[in-house]
Structure 1
């Protein structure tokens, strides 16, 4: 009996476990999934919590999301021994493996920025990447009398890199609907040199920020937060004051990965960007947000890469060369407020471009253009996530990025 252990039952871990359960013989393989929490959180839904009258139901049982024949252990991973191929749990239990898949994701670490945690945490300083944080932001926005709202990103990479921009657009629309937009100054503070990491998309998104009269402070690397003075302080000694701060803390992988020597300085596992195989240990793979892929930490990446990973893993355990290659494909709906959104689609080599997706001229979705269809596409994704994505079913979109329907700005669009 060969033993496959998957650490983490989030988006990537659940998809991979369910896909492999269908492909690996029950009488030959034991699949064990380990997670510290019995409930699975629909993380894309956190973005909407601050702006909805009632918080939505975003939780489901992890056990109910895994196929029969998969063993689920609830427990905190204490240590990982890659030499002896064992996972030690915090309660003292030890789980051995022949093959290991790390899917422990990434988490906000407010403790890494001086002044972020303290008496003002979830009072005048907030995050929305956790359920409790999103609820606290909701209360803060409802009672905000006006002043300066600062939306701030500590550093990249972060989970869902467009989410801070989405929050900013939704906050602007929220205050406009309440008739108090002229009483609120909104400032978007980023460590990047523009609104987004890719030039074409950055220009599109930057234009939307300008149209909504949202100020942008770029190249801002925060050194500390002076919570008493309500001020962000950068390493180059710039200061930005706020009345209400909504920040995206530094994101990091699981501590045990760094402690084991398997992770880098942010606890992400270095992998081959085409196969997701660990650079240091061939029987270890890292999927989803847990690896150091040079692309977005997003559910779409977990989805597209998991399809490639499963085929490679089946070849690898069969003693064959891995022939499938992940191209860094990512796509993200970007909520822009007022019931509209835009869509971006890109990979390692091609930045987000305007056009139509996924069926060329037929669309039905528009790339880098605000439409109501994109907004409804984002809302519909919740059903797709629970009923198609996590169970490991194939979606009618290509795993590899296609140039069909895309064009570079200034190029003639063929009819």
Structure 2
């Protein structure tokens, strides 16, 4: 049983179907049949992606032989190995893969969904929000545009920075950038969580004239007065604000005794992706409480280890501790360029090339990286979701091509 028909659930189901064939029955459960290509949401506000092109049928992304049930889940009984559905239905499982993703919780921030919501207060982290923001940006010609991350963890942690860079490009293309103050507000003490990448991204913000406000923990949003107010009573004024709300796990994970933690994510072994809740439960993607980025690339790399371990679990074999937290992200920087970062649990983003000495430049703006970002959409639908390996892109983070610190190079040898 796979709970969730998004990126993680689809990858897991398709890879397991390919590996196990007709020996097992695989069913994916989700509340609806709309699979949204979430990386494309970033481009909708700027008119460079059509919202309608980002949605496809969940069922049609699954391999033949994988069942799909579009019904909402009420709760999971981890002792009885049973999924209870809204309306009273019940589904039994031998192995459960939780791929329930992360959900937006804007109501958790005082005032965020109050006066001004959808007028001068927006998010681009869901399809309705990204579409509404497109209209607001078209009308915006002067004033203070603020991008605010309320709290972590969030899906795709680089996306708010990308929005800043693309907003700078978008406003310059329209000839109004000089009339707009652009500000990035984050609870972190730097532009990003990893020091080397943070230095590069902070420099890019400065170069583009984007103000960086750090250690700002948003307590409330005053949509009427146009103010972000932190818990320590600092204020950031705005005319238009783009907020990345608090994230949490799926609500029924919270309702299921023992399944989720306080945030609604599933406690998970970071190396095997087997839950620490029960041995026959695994978690993938944003649903897994592991110390790495909640990004689509992570889900893809997790899929290789998770599916191997489901097969090993069914056979009674020892699990593979092979997932190293590998994360790979393109960062759009505007004007047809992008950066690329590649890191894992132990190694932060470093300069060099990916996936080897000859490849895409790391931590450096380039046209090649921008083209890679655009190509990812095709790879997503035609390679990642079907559960295929991408030639030359290993599941574990490659060290070849990276400018590693001396101690790391010695350890790698």
Short-chain TM bin = over 0.9
Contact 2:3 2:99 in 1 (8 A): yes
Instruction: Name 2:156's counterpart in structure 1.
Output: 160
Q: Does 1:59 align with 2:55?
A: yes
Instruction: Name 1:347's counterpart in structure 2.
Output: 344
Instruction: Name 1:302's counterpart in structure 2.
Output: 299
Q: Which runs of 5+ in 2 are unaligned?
A: none
> Displaced runs of 4+ in structure 1, greater than 3 A?
408-411
Distance of 1:325 and 1:145 partners within structure 2: 50
1:96-115 mapped onto 2 (5 Å cutoff): 96-115=92-111
1:130-279 mapped onto 2 (5 Å cutoff): 130-260=126-256, 261-279=258-276
Contact 2:305 2:320 in 1 (8 A): no
User: How big is the shift at 1:183?
Assistant: 0.3
User: How big is the shift at 1:68?
Assistant: 1.0
Instruction: Name 2:65's counterpart in structure 1.
Output: 69
3-state SS in 2 of match to 1:309: helix
How big is the alpha-carbon RMSD for the aligned residues of Structure 1 and Structure 2? 1.4
1:100-154 CA distance string (max 9 Å, x none): 0000000211011010012321111000011110011110000013100000001
User: How big is the shift at 1:410?
Assistant: 10
Q: Among 275, 280, 294, which residue is 1:283 paired with? A: 280
Distance of 1:219 and 1:327 partners within structure 2: 29
3-state SS in 1 of match to 2:353: strand
Contact 1:353 1:409 in 2 (8 A): no
1:336-390 CA distance string (max 9 Å, x none): 0000000000000000000011121x11x10000000000000000000000110
Number of paired residues? 405
User: How big is the shift at 1:22?
Assistant: 1.1
Instruction: Name 1:380's counterpart in structure 2.
Output: 375
Distance of 2:91 and 2:406 partners within structure 1: 57
Distance of 1:165 and 1:401 partners within structure 2: 23
3-state SS in 1 of match to 2:267: coil
Instruction: Name 1:6's counterpart in structure 2.
Output: 2
Q: Does 1:48 align with 2:29?
A: no
Contact 1:273 1:326 in 2 (8 A): yes
Contact 1:77 1:256 in 2 (8 A): yes
3-state SS in 1 of match to 2:165: helix
Q: 1:410 to 1:172 in 2, by over 3 A?
A: farther
- TM-score normalized by the length of structure 1: 0.95
Q: Which runs of 5+ in 1 are unaligned?
A: none
